[in-house]
Amino acid sequence: MTFNLLAFSIGNTRTRMGTFVDGKLAGSLAISHADPDEFAAAVAEAHAPLSGRSDAVAVFGSVQPRITERLRRIVPEHTGLELLRVEEDLPIPIGRKLDREALVGDDRLLNAAAAYHTLKQSCIVVDAGTAMTVDLIDGEGTFHGGAILPGAQMMLDALGRQAAQLPDLEIARPDEAVGHNTNEAMLTGVFHALRGAVRELSEQYAEAAGHFPMIIATGGNADLLFSGWELVERIVPDLTLLGVAVTFQVSRSAADG
């Protein structure tokens, strides 16, 4: 099935935009929420390949209410496209085994839908963003939830803020496991803490599932944390956008009968 779609994933600190032309991802970009003046220009840039396509639609998922309102204002004004939201207008096509009162971010469900739609098998999705999530999807396409923990920069920021003698640092990949000064010690501590969490949680999930699921990583720090690590089999930067596309595609197929 071919479709033309402008997809948005609004995260905690940035929005990722993807352009799907004739059903394929033609390009993506990310804009920081700290740059509100650039937001409209980024939307226009993402929309450009869809200009003149009368069937194009814009669909978004969001975990940030303030930026949601910005998107609702800018997209119609700068693209003329109908703007739909996942879960409100289009159900995300993934089963759920969660507590009745559970509230799950759009991004986690979209990641799960994209991963299962592609793999058709149980998997673990690690989203290494502002916060880091490690979620389990079973072989029947059911999202079971998982774990939420501070992301890499959040950990470093907390250390710098709460410990008087520790500096403010930006996340970077450490050169080795033994930190020979304070900065190196902080970087290696955060790096291996997050990798250790993924390993421990994955082992626990595998024990519960009876087998070891494939691990997929996404998010702004996925490459920094997991590139070259044998435990993570795939790094897919645009996984959430692919989830938006899957959601739109499945909903349109159902509507067409």
- Catalogue all structural domains in the chain, each as residue range(s) with its CATH number: 5-85 (3.30.420.40), 105-241 (3.30.420.40)
By CB atoms closer than 10 A (0-12, 13-18, 19+), residue 88 is exposed
Please give the Cα distance from 174 to 189 (Å, whole number): 9
- From the candidates 37, 89, 107, 238, give the one annotated as an active-site residue: 107
Q: How does pLDDT run across 25-79, given as a tens digit for each residue? A: 999 999 999 888 899 999 999 999 999 999 999 999 999 999 999 999 999 999 9
Q: How does pLDDT run across 212-257, given as a tens digit for each residue? A: 999 999 999 999 999 999 999 999 999 999 999 999 999 998 887 6
Question: 94 pLDDT band (50/70/90 cuts)?
Answer: very high
∠ CA 99-104-109 to the nearest 5 degrees? 110
Whether the CB-CB separation of 146 and 217 falls below 8 Å is answered with no
Active site (annotated) includes residue 107: yes
Looking at the chain, the number of H-run helices and the number of E-run strands are: 7, 11
